[in-house]
Amino acid sequence: MRVLLIAEACNPTWTSVPLVGHNWARALADQPDLQLTIVTHIRNKAGIAQSDLGSKARIEYIDNEFIAAPAYKLAKLLRGGNQLSWTIDTAMAWPSYVVFEKMLAARFGRALQRGEYDLIHRVTPLSPTAVSPLAGRTNVPMIAGPLNGGLPWPKEFPELVRREREWLVPLRNGYKLLPYHRSTYRHLAGVIAASHSTAGEIPRFFHGKRFFHPENGVDPARFPLAAGWTPPKDKFRFVTAGRLVPYKGLGLTLEAIRRSPRLQRAELRVIGDGPDRLQHEEFVRQNNLGECVKFLGQLPQTELAREFRESQAFVFPSLREFGGGVVLEAMASGLPSLIVDYGGPSELIDAHTGIKLPMRTREPLIESLKAAMEKMAESPEACRAMGEAAVATVARLHTWSAKAKQMTGIYREVSG
């Protein structure tokens, strides 16, 4: 099957969406029954040169830096950096992506008319707000996804919108009035939703095929699957990882530890960096938690994998998480996960692989988090069972090779 794979963000040396785009491209390029042409942005060329993707598929680069570069700079200025205000970032990327896809349509229009491709798959952008000028200009079946985004801010934490500088939230649904929105969904042959929240955003006038498939996966070459759960050598060790921003919930975990003498006899390793790090470190100092809470900063994936393998449980009470790729990495490392039952992580974890806490207001949530962490620290056999189930789940469903095989099945169903 000849597939034109659109991955505007596709870079193995970056994180988040660009890494997801590269991992999808790399996994699909390995499928023996697919012939891939990958179209990506020129900014990814240096990063892709460090991978073997170019030896497995034809790669074409689109250079729209004349609009993408100033749009990025303006978005960074409006956001006050690149850590918060993601709605602004998504909104500012809209014009440059439209130009990107129009340039792509001009370059590949004749090849598509000649029938040189059986299917078009746009894997990035991930946002359901991203439109496709190409969808209405070709007769080749086109699918988009996995799409993820649009998860409402939890009503239990109204202050998060202000702390995350999400000033555009009240205007977010305005994207439905922008050019190409209706034509995109009228012409797509299939849409893959990565979360049930995003599935609910697909408009009613879309009449193509609908699929559900989480966007993240695990590469065993970079993140080896654990042989099992690692018992504690001395203290029971919790680990968490992610950007240190308000909605990630690290403050809830630290407060739970402050309230629990039992948890203060355990250990928490914090991996990641962000604007809230100094605030969290000050909280640890003021409450004399330095013996049990360690901040490791940002780590390369090899070191992250080692820290995971040497820990006993992954605690991640993120209050608004779209995907949760780090949860899959924890599962691959044999860790039971402790999460809030809201958003992407709750669609990856079940009762066999971790503990899901109901979304509540701050005080009840801290108390339930404290109780769940204490339960984990006192139940090594339960942690072992959940950790082993987590590895088995990742091996069966969430390695990139397994996901690529599932995607190939979607291709065949859409193309007939």
pLDDT averages per 10-residue partition of the chain, 416 residues:
97 92 97 97 97 96 95 83 73 91 97 97 94 96 93 91 80 83 96 93 94 94 93 96 94 98 98 96 98 96 94 97 92 98 94 97 98 97 98 97 97 93
Checking DSSP bridges between strand 119-124 and strand 2-7, what pairing results, if any? parallel
| pLDDT at residue number 168 | 74
Residue 84: per-residue pLDDT? 66
User: Where are the alpha helices (H) located in 293-342, listed in sequence order?
Assistant: 301-309, 325-332
CB of 141 closer than 8 Å to CB of 189: yes
Name the CATH code of domain 2-217+399-415 (choices 3.10.580.10, 3.40.50.2000, 3.40.50.300, 3.30.300.180): 3.40.50.2000
Best CA proximity match to 275, nearest among 20, 110, 142, 83? 83
Secondary structure (H, E, C), 294-354:
EEEECCCHHHHHHHHHCCCEEEECCCCCCCCHHHHHHHHCCCCEEEECCCHHHHCCCCCCE
Nearest 5 degrees, angle CA 261-CA 265-CA 270?
Answer: 105
Q: Which residues pair with 316 in a beta bridge?
A: 339
**Residues whose CB is less than 8 angstroms from the CB of residue 55 and which lie 6 or more positions away in sequence, other chains included:** none
pLDDT of residue 224: 92
Q: In whole angstroms, what is the distance from residue 290 CA to residue 284 CA?
A: 6
Beta bridge partners of 267: 237
Look at residue 93 in the predicted model and tell me its pLDDT. Answer: 87
Q: Return the CATH architecture of domain 237-397.
A: 3-Layer(aba) Sandwich (3.40)
Residue that is written with structure tokens 């709750």 in the block: 346
Most distant CA pair in the chain: distance in Å? 70
Identify whether 125 is preceded by a cis peptide bond (ω within 30 of 0): yes
Tell me if the bond preceding 170 is cis, omega within 30° of 0.
no
Parts of the chain belonging to CATH 3.40.50.2000 = 2-217+399-415, 237-397
